[in-house]
């Protein structure tokens, strides 16, 4: 089965740029979606199809996908960005989630 | 604006059957796939399965033998049943929507989520 690997945690200083990686074999051939989840809330999609922001998501959020790594980048990180972030792909008609990354804004 | 409202029993004993319903309000029911996803306390997201408006079903291989999903297009509702539950099934259960373009084989993101239902399995 296909696996997605995310670091358990990423820290970023307030106002700096955070990068959340998602590793998978030849992940560049897949459409990667990203979700933000704050404690006690349902996930919210913040990036779809690698690089597309849904309406209402700040331009500070961007995505890329190349080789074996997809990356969610959050520029000018704010306290409100502190959350868990999950990458997700489809493989063989099955949904695959990464294990999630806890982003801490220092 | 589309909203998903879900409900169901929150406390079960081992071996009982989990039963949840998710209603779709304010938008089209057809043309989308309706999915169940769960999240054990403190852990990540796990896909359970999906159903579309024509009743096409797809399950996670790990849960397939215990999962039953159904759809009621007259009420814009989908339902999930998970049999023979154990403590390992304790989780928040979400319903969610995604769009699948059959022609291009594009699978969309889960753009709308229910509020989640905490289900605890304990004797």
Q: A26-39, pLDDT tens digit by residue?
A: 999 999 999 999 99
How many angstroms separate the Cα of A55 from the Cα of each of A48, A61, B95, B111?
A: 11, 12, 21, 11
Instruction: Name the B residues in 65-94 with CB < 8 Å from any A CB.
Output: 94
Residues of chain A neighbouring B50 (CB-CB closer than 8 A): 95
CB < 8 Å to A38, chain B: none
What are the backbone angles phi and psi of residue A34, rounded to the nearest 5°?
-125, 140
pLDDT tens, position by position, A79-102 = 999 999 999 999 988 999 999 999
B58 in the Ramachandran plot: left (φ > 0), alpha (ψ -120 to 50) or beta? beta
HSE toward the beta carbon, residue B15, CA cutoff 13 A:
1
Provide the 3-class DSSP secondary structure of residue A37: strand
Q: How confident is the model at residue B102 (pLDDT cuts 50, 70, 90)?
A: confident
Min Cα–Cα distance to chain B from A15, Å: 27
B64, B57 contact by CB (below 8 A): no
Residue percentage of chain B with pLDDT more than 90: 79
User: What does the pLDDT read at residue B100?
Assistant: 87
- B66: closest CA of chain A, how far (Å): 17
- Look at residue B103 in the predicted model and tell me its pLDDT: 86
Question: What is the token pair recorded at B38?
Answer: 């769960």
């Amino acid at each position: 089965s296909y696996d997605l690997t995310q670091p358990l945690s990423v820290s970023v200083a307030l106002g700096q740029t955070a990068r959340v990686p998602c590793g998978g074999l030849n992940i560049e051939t897949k459409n990667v979606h990203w979700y933000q989840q704050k404690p006690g809330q349902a996930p919210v999609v913040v990036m779809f199809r690698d690089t597309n922001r849904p309406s209402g998501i700040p331009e500070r959020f961007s995505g890329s996908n190349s080789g074996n790594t997809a990356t969610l980048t959050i520029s000018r990180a704010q306290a409100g960005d502190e959350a868990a972030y999950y990458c997700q792909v489809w493989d063989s008609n099955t949904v695959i989630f990464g294990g999630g990354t806890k982003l801490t804004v220092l | 604006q589309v909203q998903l409202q879900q409900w169901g029993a929150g406390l079960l004993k081992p071996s009982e059957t989990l039963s949840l319903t998710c209603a779709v309000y304010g938008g089209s029911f057809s043309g989308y796939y309706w999915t169940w996803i769960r999240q054990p306390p403190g852990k990540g997201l796990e896909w359970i399965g999906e159903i579309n408006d024509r009743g096409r079903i797809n399950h996670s291989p790990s849960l397939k033998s215990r999962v039953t999903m159904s759809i009621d297009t007259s009420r814009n509702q989908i339902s999930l049943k998970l049999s023979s539950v154990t403590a390992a099934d304790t989780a928040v259960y979400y319903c969610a929507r995604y769009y699948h373009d059959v022609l291009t084989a594009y699978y969309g993101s889960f753009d709308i989520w229910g509020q989640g239902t905490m289900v605890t399995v304990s004797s």
